[in-house]
Structure 1
Amino acid sequence: MIAVVSAPTNLGLRPPVRGGVPGAGKAPEALREAGLHRLLQSRGALDGGVVLPGRYVDDDGRRPAGRVRNEAAIVDHARRLAHRLVEIRRAGDVPLVLGGDCSLAIGAGLATRVSGGGGLVHLDGHTDFRHPGNSAGIGSVAGEDLAAAIGLHSPAMSDIDGLSPYFAPERTAHIGCRYADPHVEELRALIPIVVPADDVILHGGARAAARVRATEGLESGYWIQVDVDVLDPVHMPAVDSPDPGGLAPDELVGLLAALAPHAWGAAVTVFDPDLDPEGVHARTVAAIVAEGLADLGAARTED
């Protein structure tokens, strides 16, 4: 059974303006208002509760070198989210986390390491692979989560409780970046599957999903991390870093539907209700999640 967890964190995002607060933390309730919870519960989904983050602080100009913004709060939230995910997984249910920002990948990674392992399928319009080895500008974990997840960020982000790497690089796949992403070639050298958005558009999501399922270490299950900026801004402008060349909603639905049955859980991130005053894009996200993740974990729970 799917258990829906709200994780309204914005801790890993840069402020929209100096001293401002990102709106992604409002996403779970905006999706509830758009009818997502009603759709999921009509199919038997459970309420997995809320894991609240600490207070967002814009500490640019005051943060020590080498540290990310809201570092201690991100670690605390990751530990508490991991605890909730482990409880759900051990009860035989399948967590669906509504974020919030991409720092949720760290909590999912901690949970993976302590509850039976598994791989990562990272769906994002960007590789999110900035880290101290390739950039002097680290600071926002929402653009660095994949690097943290496979052990390449600072120890504070990549080695919480000595559990690095949260996901083994050889059990990690990325789908959805644009060809011009500055870190795509570095990522290709480290993980077995990197599928840019153009490939999904040309060949369909089923082919990308088949590659995932055929890869050693991923065939036994994985966590799906979905950043909705994998969609083209024509369809989803309500994100902090829109980038042209992304998927259409039906293409994302097809990709998710092919991946979802073999996942042990998923997170949906980075939708920003502050950029969607009429609620139009919340309804788009709700429809994609309800259809694309309807069979989340189904093959695993049957086994």
Structure 2
Amino acid sequence: MHNFILIEAPTNLGLKQLQPDREPGVNLLPQALRETGLAEQAGISRSINIPAPPYSMELDPESHVRNADAIAAYSRTLGARVKEAVERGTVPVVIGGDCSIIVGNMLGLKSTGGKYALFSMDGHTDYVPPGKSGTAGAAGMGLALITGHGHPKLTDIDNLGPYIQEEHIYSFGNRELYYEDYVELILDSAVNYYDLPSIREQGIDTITASFLNMIKAEQLDGFWIHLDVDILDNEVMPCVDSPNEGGLSYDEWRQTLTPLLASPYFRGINITILDPTMDPDRRYTKEFSRQLVAVLRPLSAEV
């Protein structure tokens, strides 16, 4: 059982505008999930909100990352709250926002002095260093930044970088398979890489068991889950900024999360990229909330 704490991290600084004069709506996800009653239904009685800076498209000339200074500052604040929660023995459920919050989350874990793994459930690799990015948005660079690829503003905050070793990361679910240069970046790394076809070939249970065995073998202190909702099939989750054909069903999603969340090594999870402005009647947001409650509630010590 876990003592959960919900941390709202409503930042959209890591994303580029999809349309002129319209900022990404992922910062509204914490509010949208609050309205579904997520925390109460999941048995989470404690929550905090970390206000995010105003949206900007500013390109930092040093790092070649949009809003690099603001993201670094936000990551420090978020990281401090994650560190505090983990050291108290509570398990953060961090609701974003965009994928740049992985920097703060992994910074927080690193600042505890422990060694951790990451299970990254994402329809993209997010292993793109700043010089290779077409958008200059930190949301698409998460795995590269936390493993030390990029400017120290984001990769070495408080001299703690890299925040995690590549060999301790499982990248699970990429289906942007048509750009060879994009996939080669992660294939040339030490990250354990499972795209959607290899997940279907090897089996979810085999991959999650391998991940948990790696943690034991490496004598790590625990692991974090990065959950970008674009890992889900577009039919059940179309409210994302960069959709690709296919994805996991909710059954496959639960099959992946269930053993991970039940593990005594589980230290926290972040949820990102669901944009409520793309879901005007909240149909998909409500169903996602229901599915998330179904995997969290059985493990809540407060129920």
Q: TM-score, normalised by structure 1?
A: 0.89
Q: Give yes or no for contact 1:198–1:246 (8 Å, CA) kept in 2.
A: no
Return the alpha-carbon distance in structure 2 between the equivalents of residues 281 and 166 of structure 1. 33
**Residue 15 of structure 1 aligns to a residue in which SS?**
coil
RMSD over equivalenced CA pairs, Å: 2.1
Q: Paired residue for 2:171, among 164, 174, 181?
A: 174
- Amino acid in the other structure paired with 2:128: R
Alignment partner, residue 121 of structure 1: 119
Alignment partner, residue 12 of structure 2: 10
In structure 2, the gaps of 5 or more residues are: none
- Amino acid in the other structure paired with 1:281: Y
Change (3 A) 1:213 1:272: same
Q: Give yes or no for contact 2:42–2:294 (8 Å, CA) kept in 1.
A: no
Displacement of 1:185: 3.1
Change (3 A) 1:65 1:162: closer
Q: Give yes or no for contact 1:48–1:95 (8 Å, CA) kept in 2.
A: no
Q: Give yes or no for contact 2:7–2:49 (8 Å, CA) kept in 1.
A: yes
Change (3 A) 1:170 1:103: same
> Which of 1 and 2 has higher RCO (CA within 8 Å, sep 6+)?
2
Q: Paired residue for 1:30, among 29, 32, 38?
A: 32
Alignment partner, residue 239 of structure 1: 240
Alignment partner, residue 227 of structure 1: 228
Alignment partner, residue 108 of structure 2: 111
Alignment partner, residue 250 of structure 1: 251
Q: Paired residue for 2:271, among 253, 268, 272?
A: 268
Return the alpha-carbon distance in structure 2 between the equivalents of residues 212 and 235 of structure 1. 27
- Aligned positions of 1:190-209 closer than 5 A: 190-209=189-208
After superposition, give the CA deviation of every residue in 1:108-155 in whole Å (9 maximum; x if it has no partner): 11111111231111110000111145x163510111111101111222
- Amino acid in the other structure paired with 2:122: D
Return the alpha-carbon distance in structure 1 between the equivalents of residues 282 and 194 of structure 2. 31
**Residue 129 of structure 1 aligns to a residue in which SS?**
coil
Return the alpha-carbon distance in structure 2 between the equivalents of residues 47 and 34 of structure 1. 16
Return the alpha-carbon distance in structure 2 between the equivalents of residues 295 and 83 of structure 1. 28
Q: Paired residue for 1:287, among 274, 285, 290?
A: 290
Return the alpha-carbon distance in structure 2 between the equivalents of residues 137 and 180 of structure 1. 15
Return the alpha-carbon distance in structure 2 between the equivalents of residues 46 and 237 of structure 1. 30
Return the alpha-carbon distance in structure 1 between the equivalents of residues 173 and 197 of structure 2. 8
After superposition, give the CA deviation of every residue in 1:229-261 in whole Å (9 maximum; x if it has no partner): 001111111010011121111111110112122
Say if 2:80 is the partner of 1:83: yes
Identical aligned residues as a percent: 33
Say if 2:148 is the partner of 1:151: yes
Change (3 A) 1:198 1:109: same
Alignment partner, residue 131 of structure 1: 129
Return the alpha-carbon distance in structure 2 between the equivalents of residues 217 and 141 of structure 1. 29
Alignment partner, residue 71 of structure 1: 68
Return the alpha-carbon distance in structure 2 between the equivalents of residues 198 and 103 of structure 1. 26
- Amino acid in the other structure paired with 2:261: A
Return the alpha-carbon distance in structure 1 between the equivalents of residues 15 and 273 of structure 2. 9
Q: Give yes or no for contact 2:8–2:96 (8 Å, CA) kept in 1.
A: yes
Return the alpha-carbon distance in structure 2 between the equivalents of residues 38 and 239 of structure 1. 25
Displacement of 1:296: 6.3
Q: Give yes or no for contact 1:10–1:56 (8 Å, CA) kept in 2.
A: yes
Alignment partner, residue 301 of structure 1: none
In structure 1, the gaps of 5 or more residues are: 299-303
Change (3 A) 1:74 1:297: farther
After superposition, give the CA deviation of every residue in 1:152-186 in whole Å (9 maximum; x if it has no partner): 12221111111111111111111010143543333
- Amino acid in the other structure paired with 2:274: F
Displacement of 1:218: 7.5
- Amino acid in the other structure paired with 2:41: L
Say if 2:51 is the partner of 1:48: no
Q: Give yes or no for contact 2:234–2:245 (8 Å, CA) kept in 1.
A: yes
Q: TM-score, normalised by structure 2?
A: 0.89
Q: Give yes or no for contact 1:254–1:292 (8 Å, CA) kept in 2.
A: no
